[in-house]
Amino acid sequence: MTRTELVIRYTAFAVAATLANLAAQRGVLAFVEGTEGFVLAVGVGTVVGLVLKYLLDKRWIFFDTSTGLAAHGRKFSLYTAMGVVTTLIFWGFETFFWLTWRTDLMREVGAILGLSIGYVIKYNLDRRFVFNSMRTAEG
């Protein structure tokens, strides 16, 4: 896979995970309002986006064909750990935009901006620490 193909694929997966995240948030916010709804929506959206992105990255970015509960558990744990800092970036942007403008549109703009920055950082962390023994587009 060329670098261009990698960037296109990774971006498409980031967009898919972002849309899944925001759709899950909207689903929660349709039933729960206020601060409680916001906190629950961010949490549910994060889990939905994380699981989808892990499955896509594992197979189609890092070409990891390992199977079994132990392998998935270890890698998903590392993948999640690498996502802690990047999730804080995402949450920080989304929360800042929500607290500043108090509109769903601006909350989602903050989420998209935070997720975009986070995904660039996350790719590099995952390549180095999670899937470091796997063949990637760069070798």
What does pTM read for this prediction? 0.79
Q: How far apart are CA 92 and CA 96, in angstroms?
A: 6
Q: How far apart are CA 105 and CA 43, in angstroms?
A: 18
* Residue 133 pLDDT grade (very low, low, confident, very high; cuts 50, 70, 90): low
The Cβ of residue 78 has, within 10 Å, a number of other Cβ atoms equal to 16
Q: How far apart are CA 43 and CA 61, in angstroms?
A: 25
Handedness of CA 53, 58, 60, 62 (dihedral sign): positive
The residue type at 16:
A
Q: What is the DSSP letter of 130?
A: I
Instruction: Give the tens place of pLDDT for each residue, 50-79.
Output: 999 999 999 999 999 988 999 889 999 999
